[in-house]
């Protein structure tokens, strides 16, 4: 009888626990792909643990069309589902939200990964420090992590990764010092900061050297919007001259 009572009690506890649906964000990973412009491609992944009774709700929302970030925030009941790299005076674009499948974790529940991808604009400041050499500096006001008395800081269960563009060279020092690599990172292109890392007075700069071809392309790209009317008039003048010359040749035949 005692054994049967214990089995019944255990079954009741399981049923009661399963009657409470819940979601928990166990980890946040933010990867910032810096570029040769003032924008950056950002990819953020939330690792989510859910009870067995929550799996059906998650899968229904995953299969639905045009689910907004607001709907997912309400379902998961978390404040971590938002853009953590954003200039408060600028904007983001190309936002995509990709909820992954729920993978069972034994009999206790399931794990899923929800990924946000977007372009954050005006996250770096750029200046030309030598012919064809440009210095980019990350703007720490673009951090939208936990707000503490001393400034922004990573959440306890978060990882920040900064990836330099191709052929970029980091400018030392970096502050705070990356958690990885822990030394000899003068030639590194990826830097990591882990949980609860203070981001106050964050400093990360790098240089990019443009090729001569890039310089020429950039020159004409920048010149076009500023002098478009003059260019149109010049083209029209040349076209009129060619037409007049052709007409005179035909007339004299």
pLDDT tens-digit readout, 109-120:
999 999 999 999
- Dmax of the chain from CA atoms? 121
Which pLDDT belongs to residue 184?
A: 79
- Summarize pLDDT for 89-112 with one digit per residue, the tens: 999 999 999 999 999 987 789 999
pTM for the full predicted model: 0.76
**Rounded CA separation 191/164 (Å):** 9
Which pLDDT belongs to residue 149?
A: 85
**Rounded CA separation 65/52 (Å):** 23
Which pLDDT belongs to residue 228?
A: 54
Strand partners, 120: 40, 92
- What is the SS3 assignment for 202? coil
Domain assignments of the chain as residue spans, ordered by start: 21-209, 212-252
**Rounded CA separation 35/124 (Å):** 9
Which pLDDT belongs to residue 15?
A: 42
**Rounded CA separation 98/244 (Å):** 60
Which pLDDT belongs to residue 246?
A: 67
Which pLDDT belongs to residue 22?
A: 81
- CB of 27 within 8 A of CB of 156? no
CA 90 to chain centre: 14
Which pLDDT belongs to residue 181?
A: 92
Which pLDDT belongs to residue 41?
A: 98
Which pLDDT belongs to residue 11?
A: 41
- CB of 40 within 8 A of CB of 34? yes
Ordered per-residue pLDDT tens for the chain, 253 residues: 555 443 443 444 444 444 456 899 999 999 999 999 999 999 999 999 999 989 998 999 898 877 788 889 988 888 899 999 999 999 999 999 999 999 998 778 999 999 999 999 999 999 999 998 999 999 999 999 998 888 889 999 999 999 999 989 999 999 999 999 987 788 899 999 998 999 999 999 999 998 654 444 444 444 545 555 665 666 677 667 777 766 676 766 6
Q: Which token pair is 45?
A: 């992944």
By CB atoms closer than 10 A (0-12, 13-18, 19+), residue 184 is: exposed
**Rounded CA separation 30/161 (Å):** 6
Which pLDDT belongs to residue 21?
A: 61
Which secondary-structure segment (H or E) carries 153? strand 151-153
**Rounded CA separation 69/182 (Å):** 36
Phi first, then psi: what are they for 251, rounded to 5°? Answer: -70, -35
């Amino acid at each position: 009888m005692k054994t049967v009572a214990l089995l019944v009690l255990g079954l009741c506890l399981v049923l009661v626990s399963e009657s409470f649906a819940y979601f928990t964000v166990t980890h946040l990973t933010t990867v910032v792909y810096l570029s040769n412009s003032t924008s950056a491609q950002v990819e953020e992944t939330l690792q989510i643990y859910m009870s067995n009774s929550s799996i059906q709700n998650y899968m229904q929302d995953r299969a639905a069309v045009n689910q907004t970030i607001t709907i997912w925030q309400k379902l998961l009941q978390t404040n971590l589902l938002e853009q953590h790299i954003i200039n408060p005076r600028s904007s983001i674009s190309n936002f995509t939200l990709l909820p992954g499948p729920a993978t069972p974790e034994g009999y206790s529940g399931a794990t899923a990964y929800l990924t946000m991808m977007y372009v954050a604009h005006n996250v770096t400041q750029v200046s030309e420090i030598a012919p064809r050499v440009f210095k980019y500096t990350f703007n720490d006001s673009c951090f939208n992590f936990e707000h503490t008395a001393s400034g922004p800081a990573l959440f306890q269960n978060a990882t920040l990764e900064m990836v330099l563009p191709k052929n970029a060279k980091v400018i030392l020092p970096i502050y705070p010092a990356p958690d990885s690599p822990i030394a000899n990172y003068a030639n590194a292109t990826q830097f990591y900061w882990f949980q609860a890392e203070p981001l106050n007075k964050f400093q990360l700069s790098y240089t990019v050297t443009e090729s001569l071809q890039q310089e020429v392309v950039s020159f004409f790209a920048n010149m076009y919007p500023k002098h478009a009317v003059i260019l149109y008039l010049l083209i029209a003048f040349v076209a009129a001259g060619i037409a007049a010359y052709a007409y005179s040749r035909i007339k004299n035949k």
